[in-house]
Chains A and B, each alone.
Chain A
Amino acid sequence: MTLQLRLILLGASIFCFFFIIGKVRKAKIRIDDAIFWILSSMLFIVMALLPAIPIQLSRIMGIESPANFVFLLAFSLIFIKLFVLSMAISLEVEKRTRLVQSIAIREKDLDAEKKN
């Protein structure tokens, strides 16, 4: 990995880390959801500081350049996160449906009680 790439990686990751913390402080994201991003930024900080790790791993995996390994890692992480998010949205939509339905039924019950 070139020094430039390592510096960019390090700078961007540190920026992201504090950006996410800032969002937690302003209550724009739940801590539960921030954990993934915090850990990801830590991962890339480690990669930038200890290039031996991506170099060794890329050798083991038969990837020509350690930089490619870093890109593959980032890409895979995003792919997994995207699917997890997609699942989470599905569940939320299902929950919202149940919620709306139960509010409607409860209101009808309330109205019926009032009339009696």
Chain B
Amino acid sequence: MNKKIFRTLVIIPAYNEEGSIGSVIEALRHSGVEFLVVNDGSKDGTLALLKELNVNFLDLPVNIGLHGAVQAGLIYASVKKYDCAIQFDGDGQHRPEYLPVLISAIQNNECDVAIGSRFVNTKRPASMRMLGSRLISYAIYLLTKKLVSDPTSGMRAYSQSVIDLMAANPNYGPEPDTIAYLIRTGREIKEFHVDMSERTAGVSYLGFTSSIKYMIRMMVSILLIQPFR
């Protein structure tokens, strides 16, 4: 029997990332992985840039948000029968040199989800954002008795069965509460150390009010909804 080639797709959701997506694409091309950019109805020159650079991309006609954009990539991965899909930020924070570690973890069946974590060996710096991350870690611990040191990391690799699950169902957003739910339903989650860069352009989509909203959403979901789901 022929040994099946293990195929990985890196999914990069992009909303108004014209300032940074170019260098991210360049770095990914250097690393030789297959990738798919999902343009989430950007209002800037992101689409034009993707066409110009002649990359593999999906163009969503309207903005549907991070969840929908990542899910579009996962549906593509599911239909094209990729063995592994990795969610990767288009703002330059994530570095391709850490992809092989995540890929081999999935390939060797070490886990169903491999998270690129900033805090496996290092302590979290003290900031409001990290307080939020700590609270989410604690909530996940209460629910699952498992420690996820960097639950909000947007760099995650999924195995084929998780790809299919997230592609086909609602309420499997690429967020910490889905991680908690996957742990609860018996999936193996592992964290691997990665370093992340500061964003190279653009601003984070989380301002003050939306951060509070995000925290409420995550805490309610993890502590009140997921235990009964």
User: A residues engaging B (CB < 8 A)?
Assistant: 18, 21, 24-25, 27, 30-32, 34-35, 38-39, 42, 95, 98-99, 102-103, 106
Q: Is the CB of A98 within 8 A of B61?
A: yes
A27 and B171 form a contact (CB under 8 A): yes
Across-interface contacts of A38 in B (CB, < 8 A): 220, 224-225
Do the beta carbons of A35 and B229 come within 8 Å of each other?
no
**Given A99-B61, A102-B62, A21–B229 Cβ distance below 8 Å?**
yes
B58-81 at interface with A (beta carbon < 8 Å): 61-63
Report yes or no: A30 in contact with B61, Cβ–Cβ below 8 A: no
CB proximity of B62 to chain A, nearest CB, Å: 5
- Contact of B62 with A27 in the complex, beta carbons under 8 Å: no
Q: Which residues of B contact A31 (CB under 8 A)?
A: 171, 173, 177, 217, 221, 225
Given that A42-B224, A99-B61, A99-B62 are contacting pairs, would A30 and B229 also be in contact in the complex, using a CB cutoff of 8 Å? Answer: no
B217 to A32, Cβ gap below 8 A? yes
Q: Are A27 and B217 also in contact (CB < 8 A) when A38-B224, A42-B224 are?
A: no
A51 to B173, CA, bound (A): 38
On whether A21 and B220 interact (CB within 8 A), knowing A30-B170, A99-B61, A102-B62, the answer reads no
Cβ-neighbour of B61 out of A18, A24, A25, A102 (below 8 A): A102
Beyond contacts A31-B217, A39-B216: 17 other A-B pairs, Cβ-Cβ < 8 A, are A18-B228, A21-B225, A21-B229, A24-B171, A24-B229, A27-B169, A27-B171, A30-B171, A31-B171, A34-B225, A35-B216, A35-B221, A39-B220, A95-B63, A102-B61, A102-B62, A103-B61
